[in-house]
Amino acid sequence: MLANHSSATEFYLLGFPGSKELHRLLFATFFFFYSVTLMGNTVIIVIVCVDKRLRSPMYFFLGHLSALEILVTTVIMPVMLWGLLLPGMQTISLAACVTQLFLYLSLGTTEFALLGAMAVDRYVAVCNPLRYNIIMNSCTCIWVVVVSWVFGFLFEIWPVYATFQLTFCKSNVVNNFFCDRGQLLKLSCNNTVFIEFILFLMAIFVLFGSLIPTIISYTYIISTILRIPSASGQRKAFSTCASHFTCVVIGYGTCLFLYVKPKQTQAANYNRVASLMVLVVTPFLNPFIFTLRNDKFMEAFRDVMKRCCQLLKD
């Protein structure tokens, strides 16, 4: 614990409650999830890069989404896994805490911007197929990705700066497995009502700013699909959007509960479970969501694997 009117130069991550046996079980489970996340998303990036059949905007965006999933989970997971192996609380320096929080929020913001762009891409593909190649040309796709990355990192500079301008004099024990902003605000002896309100408005801007185009796009997509006379045509049209739609439901659903609330200092157990959904479960599921029912990707994957096997035999 810190003395009054002093600010933390390091923090202690409380991590997960429970016995050593439970920690070992959690370590094995999360290590498996992390390994599959890295392998699955890396496979997507490699296949998209090497196979010419996947040179389309949808797969270009998917490659960047997979890169974001790898980065956002890598910012948190190694620290969390190391904490499960160590007895007691884990120490993290102020600089490391700032870096972790900034990267986590920036990558998450970038991902939401990209998901919104992917929804618009699906709208153009389904509702304006004849103009798709003209509208979603390579220049447009590159600009969309660049703007998403730049926006994500620039947008989170002030929230992280404002958070660490506070004086942390109540304690330096963060009741989570990473530098969670809500738990950090709890440790401040400053009045955080104003900053929490601003963070609430910024969260609304990010989430709804990308969710509204997504809702509008899928409204038009669904109405267009319903006008297709054949059932097979409807299934084929919706299959191009189903993966993205599933990802949107999982990602937005979790983050709306986690960040869009006037009071950022939610109960620790609530934050811990919601954070696990964002950082562990969603990145783990995305490779399966986007590939298993995608015949074009699976065909490209099989061809790449055959080529690799032939090279190894030679």
Question: For residue 261, is it within any domain?
Answer: yes
Q: How confident is the model at residue 258 (pLDDT cuts 50, 70, 90)?
A: low
Q: What is the pTM of this model?
A: 0.87
Contact 247, 286 (CB under 8 A): yes
Q: How far apart are CA 9 and CA 120, in angstroms?
A: 44
Question: For residue 2, is it within any domain?
Answer: no
Q: How confident is the model at residue 101 (pLDDT cuts 50, 70, 90)?
A: very high
Contacts for 299-307: CB closer than 8 Å, 24+ residues apart:
299/53, 300/47, 300/51, 300/53, 300/54, 301/43, 301/47, 303/51, 304/46, 304/47, 304/50, 304/51
Whether residue 260 has pLDDT greater than 70: no
Q: Give residue 276's pLDDT.
A: 85
Question: For residue 114, is it within any domain?
Answer: yes
Contact 125, 240 (CB under 8 A): yes
Termini Cα distance of the chain: 63
For range 178-206, the mean pLDDT: 87
Sign, Cα dihedral of 87, 88, 94, 99 = positive
On average, the pLDDT of the chain sits at 84
Question: For residue 224, is it within any domain?
Answer: yes
Whether residue 228 has pLDDT greater than 80: no
Residue type, 136: M
For range 60-85, the mean pLDDT: 92
309 or 73: whose pLDDT is higher?
73
DSSP 238-273: HHHHHHHHHHHHHHHHHHHHHH-SS-----HHHHHH
Q: How confident is the model at residue 314 (pLDDT cuts 50, 70, 90)?
A: low
Q: Give residue 256's pLDDT.
A: 65
Nearest to 101 by CA among 11, 181, 189: 181
Question: For residue 314, is it within any domain?
Answer: no
Q: How confident is the model at residue 2 (pLDDT cuts 50, 70, 90)?
A: very low
Whether residue 4 has pLDDT greater than 50: no
Q: Give residue 265's pLDDT.
A: 47
For range 170-187, the mean pLDDT: 86
For range 269-289, the mean pLDDT: 81
Question: For residue 228, is it within any domain?
Answer: yes
83 or 291: whose pLDDT is higher?
83
162 or 250: whose pLDDT is higher?
162
Whether residue 108 has pLDDT greater than 70: yes
Contact 207, 252 (CB under 8 A): yes
- Into how many domains does the chain fold? 1
Structural domain containing residue 122? 11-308
Q: What is the CATH number of the domain that holds 169?
A: 1.20.1070.10
275 or 124: whose pLDDT is higher?
124
Question: For residue 176, is it within any domain?
Answer: yes
For range 254-274, the mean pLDDT: 62
159 or 300: whose pLDDT is higher?
159
Q: Give residue 309's pLDDT.
A: 80
Q: Give residue 5's pLDDT.
A: 44
Q: How confident is the model at residue 110 (pLDDT cuts 50, 70, 90)?
A: very high
Q: Give residue 160's pLDDT.
A: 93
Question: For residue 6, is it within any domain?
Answer: no
